Chains A and B, each alone.
Chain A
Amino acid sequence: MTQPAQTDLITVTIDGREIAVPKGTNMIEAARLLGIDIPHYCYHPKLSVAGNCRMCLVEMGMLAFDPATKQPVMDPASGKQKVNWMPKPVIACFTNAAPGLHIRTNTPLVRECREGVMEFLLINHPLDCPICDQAGECKLQEQATAYGRGYSRFIEQKNVKPKRTLLGPRVMLDDERCVLCSRCIRFSKEVAKDDVLGFVDRGSYSTLTCYPGRRLENNYSLNTVDICPVGALTSVDFRFKMRVWFLKQTPSIDTESSVGVNTTVWSREGVIYRITPRRNDAVNDTWMPDSGRELYKQVRAENRLTAALAAGQSATLDAALAAAAELLKSAASAVAVVGSGRSSVDEQFLTRKLAAALKAPAWIVGRAGEGDGILLSTDRNPNTRGALVTGLIKALPGPQLGELAAAIDAGKVTTVLAVNEDLAAAGLTAAQLAKVRVIYLGTHANATSAAAQVVLPALTVFEKSGAFINQQFRLQKFVTAVPGPAGVSDDLATLARLLVAVGGPKLGETATTLWPALAAEIPALASVSFAGIPDEGLPLDSKPWAGLRFGEGASLHFQPAAAT
């Protein structure tokens, strides 16, 4: 008998091996903990259980008790308590842990069930895997290999269904490939709260479709492509661009908002092909917004800055840095620094150091948007908390650089160092920009780079390593997915060298070498090393900033402090 008293753990037996799992754990998850694969299509850990694919059938039994005496019935052969096996299989996804539960996943009955389910699924499924966009990440293909019978008995005509239905601006549907698992339907209803998908003409011609006149166009529609176990739903942007097995996967962070959605960047030979969500049960589960998947396009945008400029002429980085240092030093104490909530923690630390060395005030630009209550927050800076933690700013930023504008008008500021922020977009007028000398470190050309005396090219989030602190005060790192454009040095190196050039201390020029200084100087990051930040992020103590009124509302896995 098991004793789940204190921890609420329940011991179940899977293929003769015992494992203690929390109450409510289903058998697919319990088996996963033991390294046993129970194949499935419709089950998804973050969606409700539908139980319609029948692929996860297993044999189930319970420990035997004498009905009259309630005493355990012992098996004389093994000396252990007898197990009463049920004659029919059950679905593992809908079988939750119960005391004394036994399941078997490798018996002839289970094998026959899987072969049967596979055979029915393949009856109407096209057999053009080589040209299917899902090849390489297709559950049907994998499970046909592992659990299929290997040859077909089907000699009739396959069903014909719509092949190219555009469900929305970003999702394409091939109904012939659909195995009717209903994951996309449940996702739309349960997570995206946009119930537009359904099965019509149920029967041999069951067809997935949108309600006529409606489209699958919410900002989470591409998650249906991720969770589709087969090639039925494909991304309009990615389909037929690249075979997935050629792509390198790099962990990254969505820079769209302070939610800090964990992502995987898929690239080949220095080119990014797609961005997908990376599971983090404390942040984004397995989802991400569609808008975040487009961000890789900025890497090869036409207005990308690829060379340093000094006084309007292209210059070497060294020359541009020297010119920048000269401008900053000659301005005496009339310098202002504009940092960014889009810079990493390490860059913000160096920006703060630069401001200190120049005895300059520092701001960052607040970026407000509409929160959707799921994975986009009202704070569209990924790292506002980082600017607070590194001490770059003390108070929450406003959307406009009003104080800076006033200081320029008053003639108190004659030189501005802008790190990855367009001053014009942040409210400075062309006249104000013309009054000051600007040193701009940024990724793309804009009004500020056009007005700048010195332009230092920078890297996008995909081309560098660093860390952001999200709305939960969770420190999350991203690493280099693709190399930056030729001739563009890492932002940390540029900032560290500029710091030395203006007479500041010599600090590390990479995330790894810089972090010891961060850990030593910033109490919240003491004992943290860059390599030591775990994949799921590191929650920091938010108490020192409890007095600030952050703007974010509730979203997935986040409650604003006031509400809790």
Chain B
Amino acid sequence: MNLKPETLQRIDEVITHYPVKRSAVLPLLHLVQEEQGYISREAIEWIAAKLELQPINVYEVVTFYPMFRQHPVGRRHIKVCRTLSCALNGGYRTCEEFEKEFATQRGAISPDGEVTIEFVECLASCGSGPAVMIDDDLHEKVDCAKARALAAQIKAEAAARTK
């Protein structure tokens, strides 16, 4: 496990917040995913050892929460809501638009490594659907046009970075 010193420091600090080490499983998983993008098998075993648990105890938690990913994702994670309000407002079309823009399929990493597009359940923005979250930012009323604009923005940022 190659974690940054800052992450390790935050991990050691967050463990002290709880009366028993076991309780720090969730914050540790978040911290590791924040840095590595997903929770690897190695990360599960590292966290278990850190908290004096068995790997299965951590694995149970990882499989329970959809927010923990067990596979790497693209540089940005595009989450398109497919729950009722967003679906009625064209969430599926929005998702397909993103897929077309990045020439990829749901769940896979796009060929340029920039994004992973996924359907998710309710993003709690039902009045302004279709709702989309790109990493931690919520975007409302993302119709096909707005999806293209967002995609263009991501591509522009990628181009700027590689220059």
Contact = CB atoms under 8 A, between A and B. Distances in A.
A196 B63 contact: no
A199 B60 CA distance: 6
Contacts of B57: 195, 198
Nearest to A200: B63
Chain A's interface: helix, strand, loop or mixed, by majority? loop
A202 B64 contact: yes
A195 B56 contact: yes
Interface string A209-245: 0111110000000000000000000000000000000
Nearest to B44: A211
A311 B130 CA distance: 95
A210 B55 CA distance: 10
Nearest to B62: A200
A404 interface: no
B153 interface: no
B47 to A, nearest CB: 13
B63 A211 contact: no
Given A195-B54, A196-B54, A211 B64 contact: no
- Looking at B56, B60, B63, the one whose CB has the most chain A CB atoms below 10 A away is B56
Contacts of A200: 59-60, 63-64
Contacts, number: 31
Contacts of A197: 56
Contact of B41 (A198, A199, A202, A212): A212
A214 B56 contact: yes
Interface in B37-69: 41, 54-57, 59-60, 63-64
A66 interface: no
A201 interface: yes
B45 to A, nearest CB: 9
A315 B161 CA distance: 94
Interface residues of B, number: 9
A199 B56 CA distance: 9
Contact of B56 (A201, A202, A203, A210): A210
Contact of A196 (B41, B56, B64): B56
Nearest to B60: A198
A455 B144 CA distance: 92
B62 to A, nearest CB: 8
B113 to A, nearest CB: 26
Contact of B64 (A195, A201, A210, A214): A201
Contacts of B41: 212-213
A213 to B, nearest CB: 7
A168 B57 CA distance: 19
A214 B45 CA distance: 12
Contacts of B60: 198-200, 202
A265 B64 CA distance: 42
Contacts of A198: 56-57, 59-60
Nearest to A207: B63
A106 to B, nearest CB: 37
A190 to B, nearest CB: 13
Nearest to A199: B60
Contacts of B63: 200-202
Contacts of B56: 195-198, 210-211, 214
Contacts of A201: 63-64
Contacts of A203: 64
A203 B60 CA distance: 12
Interface string A359-389: 0000000000000000000000000000000
A38 B56 CA distance: 32
A496 B100 CA distance: 92
Contacts of A199: 60
Contacts of B55: 211, 214
Contacts of A211: 54-56, 59
A211 B58 CA distance: 10
6 contacts: A195-B54, A198-B60, A199-B60, A202-B64, A210-B56, A213-B41
Given A200-B59, A200-B63, 18 more contacts: A195-B54, A195-B56, A196-B54, A196-B56, A197-B56, A198-B57, A200-B64, A201-B63, A201-B64, A202-B60, A210-B56, A211-B54, A211-B55, A211-B56, A212-B59, A213-B41, A214-B55, A214-B56
Interface of B: 41, 54-57, 59-60, 63-64
- Closest A-B pairs by Cβ, 8 of them: A200-B63, A198-B56, A211-B56, A195-B54, A198-B60, A202-B64, A211-B55, A201-B63
